[in-house]
Amino acid sequence: MSAELKRSKSLLTILVEDYFHVGAFENLIQQRNWQNFEPRYEQNTLKTLDLLDRYDTKATFFVLGWIAEANPDLIREIASRGHEVASRGFYHRSPRNLTPNEFRGDLRRTNRVIEDACGQKVIGYRAAEKLAFDQSGWVLDTLADEGFTYDASFLPTSKTEKAKRIAHEIQLGDRSIWEFPYSTTDLGVGLLPISGGNYFRQLPYTLMRKAVKNWHDKHEDPFIFYFHVWELDPEQPRIMAASRV
């Protein structure tokens, strides 16, 4: 995803993580306990790759460094099928929970294991949690410093100027970086994310389909969609300690 991709009508992004990595479980499942859960990310990623092959579609895969380190063959498989591999951070931690130095170290560690696995240079990043423009602008400075071409982490709100609600280039002194924010629709009382994930799972499909159509009718800029590979796994184990919500 770079300047020329701004002319694309749709961009597909896929998050390679497991069901026990989900942010909603971060207070229930500590990283040191991940080894106690059945890993299902490999079979779900292969299922995703087969689905993309069937429809001759390419995507950007945002991969956890933890997965790239544990299973470099899977990262090579993603790249060998013609997809881009980008960074999701190492341990599914939001930059908001890291110091700038910790974040920089996390980026470098993640890039190293991904690049060693697949031979692609990592130029893109998406944070483990959606970021706010008015709180996490420093993240873009660090990414630009580390040589990233683009970021796809920020969720616009009704207070976000319209130019920042779509793909845009940000100038940072003598450096620049592209931001591909989550796609949203304006409901008048606020912006509703329509990019994928739990919004597509939990809101009526007819509403979301109309919202995406309206995006294409009103915008020349790309619509950005995402899903997690575990969303294709109806047999994933349930986390019984989680709330019903």
Backbone angles phi, psi at 31, to 5 degrees: -55, -35
Backbone angles phi, psi at 84, to 5 degrees: -85, 140
pLDDT of residue 37: 78
Distance, in Å, from the CA atom of 240 to the CA atom of 117, rounded to the nearest integer, reads 35
| E-only strand ranges, 146-245 | 150-151, 168-172, 175-179, 184-186, 191-193, 223-228
Backbone angles phi, psi at 128, to 5 degrees: -65, -25
Which tokens go with 41?
A: 């990310």
Per 3-state DSSP, the chain is made up of helix, strand and coil in percentages (nearest 5) of: 40, 20, 40
Top-confidence residue, 120 or 237: 120
Question: What contacts 181, CB < 8 A, 6 or more positions away?
Answer: 152, 154, 155, 156, 164, 165, 166, 167, 224
Domains of the chain from N-terminus onward: 3-232 (3.20.20.370)
pLDDT of residue 1: 47
pLDDT of residue 186: 93
Q: Looking at the predicted structure, is the pLDDT value of residue 36 above 80?
A: no
The pTM is what? Answer: 0.92
Query: Using one digit for the tens of pLDDT, what is the confidence trace for 112-162?
Result: 999 999 999 999 999 999 999 989 999 999 999 999 999 999 999 999 999
pLDDT of residue 76: 98
Buried b (16+ CB within 10 A) or exposed e, 76-98: bbbbeeebbbbbbbbbbbbbeeb
Query: Using one digit for the tens of pLDDT, what is the confidence trace for 54-64?
Result: 999 999 999 99
Chain position carrying tokens 């280039």: 169
